[in-house]
Structure 1
Amino acid sequence: METSVFTRSIESLLDEDEYRALQTHLVENPESGSIIPGSGGIRKIRWGLKGRGKRGGARVVYFWAVRRDRILMLYA
């Protein structure tokens, strides 16, 4: 699931293949992002962009609802 803000942002950052790779990574490794302190479990991960490496990549903010086994994409 994703917020409308996330959808708008991610479309300008990643092509379909890159976004699919991000989704696959998060499904397989939902705890890979660092928890943002005081957020109640919201996580952030930096995702490398083509030709820009990890430092120049996109920051993706998401919440993994463990009990529902769902990932909510919040912001990119």
Structure 2
Amino acid sequence: MLTFFESKAFSAHRDRLGITNDDLLQLQVLICKDPEAGDVIKGSGGFRKLRFAKPGSGKGKSGSFRVIYLHVPAKGSVLFFMVYPKSERSSTTAAEVKMFAIAAAAFKNEIEKG
């Protein structure tokens, strides 16, 4: 069993993009089945980028959303950090990768405390 967390940015963008609670549940199920489904973002402290198509959207995974998340297996935790449509951006910048690494360390430290 996994425990899911959302960053404030993820929650705000999820609402803006019209990702419903049912869509989020489908994303959680996908990650429960395969927590390592997304591609690892090198240098990010373990963050992964996953293609996610809203169920019933008629879009394939390649044209839908990108979800940036961190899976911490030792604690059974997943942090949803960012979500965006592919049409808004093409790749992750070096500055973002550094930010991800800092966020990964902070999140891991926080869940270690309990």
Corresponding position: 1:26 with 2:16 = no
| Equivalent residue in structure 2 for 1:10, among 10, 14, 38 | 14
User: How many equivalent residue pairs?
Assistant: 76
Which residue of 1 is the match for residue 79 of structure 2?
A: 72
Q: Which has the higher helix share?
A: 2
Q: With structure 1 as the length reference, what TM-score do the two structures score?
A: 0.89
Superposed displacement of residue 15, structure 1: 2.0
Q: Which has the higher strand share?
A: 1
- Structure with the bigger RCO (C-alpha within 8 Å, sep 6+) is 1
Q: Following superposition, which runs of at least 4 residues in structure 1 exceed 3 angstroms of deviation?
A: none
Counterpart CA distance in 2 for 1:43 and 1:10 is 17
Q: With structure 2 as the length reference, what TM-score do the two structures score?
A: 0.62
Q: Which runs of no fewer than 5 residues in structure 2 stay unpaired? A: 84-114
Identity rate of aligned residues, in percent? 33
Q: Which runs of no fewer than 5 residues in structure 1 stay unpaired? A: none
Aligned partner letter, 2:78: I
